[in-house]
Amino acid sequence: MNAADHPTDLAPATTVLGPPLVLQAIPLFAGLSDAECAALDRRMRRVDFIPQTVIVREGSADESAFFVVSGCVAVRRTDAASGIEFTLAELGPGQVFGEMALLTKKPRTATVVALEATTCAVLGQTQFEQVLREHPALTRSIMTMLAGRLDLANAHAGIDFLNLSRIRVDPRVLQLLPLPVINQHRIIPLAFCNNRLTLAMTNPNNIVAFDDVRRLLKGVMIEPAVITEDDFRRFMTGSYPQARPARTEPGRPSADRVAKPLNSTRPPAEPEPAVTQATQPDALSTVDLLQSDLIRELQLTAGAEVVETKQDLMSASEDAPIIRLANSILGLAIRRGASDIHVEPMEQDVTVRFRVDGVLQIVERLPRKVQLGLISRLKIISRLDISEKRLPQDGRISVTMDGKPIDFRVSTVPGKWGEKVCMRILDKSNTNIGLDRLITHAPTLAEVRELAAQPHGIIYVTGPTGSGKTTTLYSTLAEINVPGVNISTVEDPIEYDLAGVTQIQVKPEIGLTFAAVLRAFLRQDPDVLLVGETRDKDTARTAVEAALTGHLVLTSLHTNSAAAAFTRLGEMGIESFLVSSSTIAVIAQRLVRRLCRACREPYAADSAALAFFGLPAGTELYRGRGCVECSGKGLRGRIGIYEVLRMHAPIRSMVGSGADAQAIHEAGRQHGMIDLKNYAALLLAGGDTTVEEVMNVVSTD
């Protein structure tokens, strides 16, 4: 009966007990004396797990608690609705898991897997009871620990604690569940939209409640939020009788997939957000969380599904959970501000990764059984041929979220384990981030604005992929986009919509190349031309001709430094005298992640780092502590690093005579150019970013 004697089905080697010091390192036992720790340690078994061992399995019945002595484990739980396994938490030394089973003697509610070689001290039921008798003080420590663990698990599962007194609940939503069900499970329906019900629960692990609610509201997706018992009681005695109107209003469900509830009450009449912001300003974050649930606003733009044929309808992709899964992925990506989504079949699973602030991160590992349906679904809504799995394809999804149009550019490539889908998010409303938000250094901002006001010539914006060239180009264009200025663009792809601007997408397969479009534009005599990218000689030459015939041309070029642009143009076959006479400036740029304003803190920087950036010894730099605002990363959003090389007369003559990039760079510096490294130093000293961030982008030059 002693569970500790049969800890797991993959029972690893048991080792001899270690010294009591290890237990004392665990906060829970910090209050115990050496002798007490030693006594306790004698009761606990030390067990080693090799990586990927399942230490406890969801649903299994054993009643031991595990204290991580060394190593790292992942706590995972399967979502009953989708069958998807979510990682709730990763635990390291000093942290504990499995304690719920110890207290409740119920089956495991989560699976715990060793991520690396891990040693745990195992406390069984019998020993646990003995320990509590001998050390009553431990009870309090356990309570504190449990509260902490609950917090953590909830945070990682995306479940938030709510304070009901700060939320106005829509009476129509309240009527979705009958009073007996509300009382039995101590749950409160808060918001309902697009088939998702936000459900305040005193116990978010109450599986029976989930089942009962799903029986009443067929097919509903439940998004749990946690409330305290006290809060529930206060709400039911205070707000509930008032909030629930005596008469019911006629109305239709906001999402037609929801079946009429079994009881006689009526569903909400409109899909408007049911939870509204209360007056307290600190209620904002919680309410924000519910309202910013953009997934419920995610709707395919009308007509996007027209291409679905009868054959499509019979395919696995028409499975409703798959549709929801696909929508959730798109919605989540937008909500997290991702720029790319990668859905990649692997040997074991389908890995979903987002690129956020330029960094690719794993969001979810989906079971392989969803692969076919999910990939097909994404292909259908992107108007791709779902039967073609061997060739790469390109397409587009248009969605609206919160009334904002958002395009996804979708491409598929056949991979070893199936088709990989890559989606790039093109936020059309993101046209004008504002040059002043990109360029935080005032003199540089003024210089770029002055350059953009020139009547003719070429401005090149250079940098590697993902350095934000396009954003800078568009933001510059947006500033000079006034009535009376004739602007045309040729792009691949058209990333943002610009009002009042003629935008053309290149189609090389029909001869509509950058150069061909440019030549056509020139016949219409525009004032300003934006050429998405100068990739080839034809484009480069036509752009030069345009600049020399009185047009302002903005374009991007793939080079590391500003000065290297001239080398690149030379390689493309553009004569140096043409380059020197047409160019007015080259702007090199990078994007780095920005320090979180909420948690950045100064520190005494390493003297070598300061010297590298030419900063005086003793300069304080900044780093992020990590907080809720930045999801603990210490970094949030991005900031640009700029290097503006202007064509002062000496530099123009150097370019004309084919001087090398290094010499031009040096000459630029002598004429006051702030290079990428100097600019990075300004950002560092200003507490805008970290040494680690800028090292990646400036040390390679």
Write out the residues near Zn ion by the rule CB under 5 A: 596, 598-599, 627, 629-630
What is the smallest separation between the CB atom of 595 and Zn ion, expressed in angstroms? Answer: 8
What is the smallest separation between the CB atom of 651 and Zn ion, expressed in angstroms? Answer: 42
68 or 599: whose CB is closer to Zn ion?
Answer: 599
Q: How far apart are CA 675 and CA 641, in angstroms?
A: 9
454-to-242, 544, 567, 650 alpha-carbon distances in Å: 65, 15, 24, 20
What is the smallest separation between the CB atom of 626 and Zn ion, expressed in angstroms? Answer: 6
389 or 597: whose CB is closer to Zn ion?
Answer: 597
Q: How far apart are CA 348 and CA 113, in angstroms?
A: 15
What is the smallest separation between the CB atom of 623 and Zn ion, expressed in angstroms? Answer: 11
Q: What one-letter code names the amino acid at 508?
A: P
408 or 622: whose CB is closer to Zn ion?
Answer: 622
Q: What one-letter code names the amino acid at 128?
A: F
Q: Kindly give the pairing relationship between strand 85-91 and strand 14-15.
A: unpaired
What is the smallest separation between the CB atom of 535 and Zn ion, expressed in angstroms? Answer: 39
What is the smallest separation between the CB atom of 593 and Zn ion, expressed in angstroms? Answer: 12
Burial 20-47 (b: 16+ CB within 10 A, else e): bebbbebebbeebeeebbbbbbebbbbb
E strands, 346-392, are 349-356, 359-367
Residue 509 DSSP symbol:
G
12 or 337: whose CB is closer to Zn ion?
Answer: 337
Q: How far apart are CA 42 and CA 36, in angstroms?
A: 10
> What is the distance, to the nearest Å, from the Cα of residue 179 to the centroid of all Cα atoms in its chain?
38
Q: What one-letter code names the amino acid at 516?
A: A
Token reading at 582: 């047409």
630 or 661: whose CB is closer to Zn ion?
Answer: 630
Cα angle: 470, vertex 476, 477; to 5 degrees? 90
Q: How many helices (H) and strands (E) does the chain have?
A: 26, 30
What is the smallest separation between the CB atom of 120 and Zn ion, expressed in angstroms? Answer: 32
Place of tokens 């996007």: 304
124 or 634: whose CB is closer to Zn ion?
Answer: 634
Q: How far apart are CA 648 and CA 666, in angstroms?
A: 13
171 or 626: whose CB is closer to Zn ion?
Answer: 626
Residue nearest to Zn ion (CB): 596
233 or 625: whose CB is closer to Zn ion?
Answer: 625
What is the smallest separation between the CB atom of 352 and Zn ion, expressed in angstroms? Answer: 25
421 or 630: whose CB is closer to Zn ion?
Answer: 630
3-state secondary structure of 580: helix
Q: How far apart are CA 382 and CA 396, in angstroms?
A: 5
Q: Is 597 exposed, middle or buried (0-12, 13-18, 19+ CB in 10 A)?
A: middle
What is the smallest separation between the CB atom of 600 and Zn ion, expressed in angstroms? Answer: 7
Q: How far apart are CA 656 and CA 559, in angstroms?
A: 19
Residues, the chain, total? Answer: 701
Beta partners for 66?
A: 97, 122
What is the smallest separation between the CB atom of 79 and Zn ion, expressed in angstroms? Answer: 29
406 or 596: whose CB is closer to Zn ion?
Answer: 596
Token reading at 231: 């809060």
290 or 630: whose CB is closer to Zn ion?
Answer: 630
166 or 597: whose CB is closer to Zn ion?
Answer: 597
Helical (H) or strand (E) element with 602? strand 600-604
186 or 594: whose CB is closer to Zn ion?
Answer: 594
Place of tokens 């590697």: 464
Place of tokens 């320990």: 131
143-to-45, 100, 206, 324 alpha-carbon distances in Å: 23, 11, 20, 38
What is the smallest separation between the CB atom of 691 and Zn ion, expressed in angstroms? Answer: 17
What is the smallest separation between the CB atom of 637 and Zn ion, expressed in angstroms? Answer: 11
Place of tokens 């989540």: 332
Do 610 and 616 form a contact (C-beta atoms < 8 A)?
A: yes
What is the smallest separation between the CB atom of 601 and Zn ion, expressed in angstroms? Answer: 10
Place of tokens 């070429």: 458
